[in-house]
Amino acid sequence: MLLLDLLFPNRCVECNRIIHHDEAVCELCFDQIYFTHHDYSESNLLTEKCRLLFPIEQAFALMQFEEESTSQKIIHQLKYGKREKIGKIIANWTLEKMDFTDLKPDLLVTVPLHPKKLKERGYNQLHLFTDTLSKELKIPCDHHLIKRNFYKKAQAKKRREQRTFNENLFSITKQISNQHILIIDDVFTTGNTMSAVAWEILKAGNNKVSILVMAMD
């Protein structure tokens, strides 16, 4: 490990300084991250956005996602920079700032990649993040409950066609009911993806859903 660190040192995603191999940013750049300071047990901006789309119990976003922001660079490195271990780092930040109190879900579920996309990327950026939370919080996780049915979203469809596409974007792989499920994704933008996943879970049985995302746009 020491030789690898010398040959390929870990660098801050923001300023490119050499940092410890268990970090994503240096101390100076960490202070530039815009954390939302959401309270999982109370209503917040993400909760309000989700309630316009589907019934929700709680919601939590760790960071604010803005163009050229440090949080954007962190997540882009996680997704596209082959730095999968950043998922564990973000999970540890989440554990420090998110308090379930008496609102622990029964199951953690990740938004899936299409198998072709998974093969191209080599990993799902949510898995190490979720596995870390699962281990520390002692809540089971399931990376296979939801299946993505299409390789990529249609970009140039009419509104009605896009709505139909979103409704069929995911399917559920097994029967599940009477569960409080925490759906995990990286970035919440329009909410269309999260809504599509949530409705599949809600339709499957007498389930409740909550939301956790690394960042919200």
3 and 40 assigned to the same domain: no
Residue 2 confidence class, pLDDT cut points 50, 70, 90: low
Summarised one tens digit per residue, pLDDT across range 55-84 is: 999 999 999 998 889 999 999 999 999 999
Domain range enclosing 151: 34-216
pLDDT of residue 157: 44
64 and 106 assigned to the same domain: yes
What's the whole-number average pLDDT of the chain?
A: 89
131 and 103 assigned to the same domain: yes
Q: How many CB atoms lie within 10 A of CB 54?
A: 17
pLDDT at 38 over 50: yes
pLDDT of residue 96: 94
The count of structural domains within the chain is 2
One-character DSSP codes across 90-112: HHHHHHHH---TT---SEEEEPP
Summarised one tens digit per residue, pLDDT across range 79-104 is: 999 999 999 999 999 999 998 877 89
Kindly provide the b/e burial profile for residues 63-82, where b requires at least 16 CB atoms within 10 angstroms of the residue's own CB: bbbeeebbbbbbbebbbeee
pTM for this prediction:
0.89
26 and 42 assigned to the same domain: no
- Asked if 190 contacts 196 with a C-beta cutoff of 8 angstroms, the reply is no
pLDDT of residue 48: 96
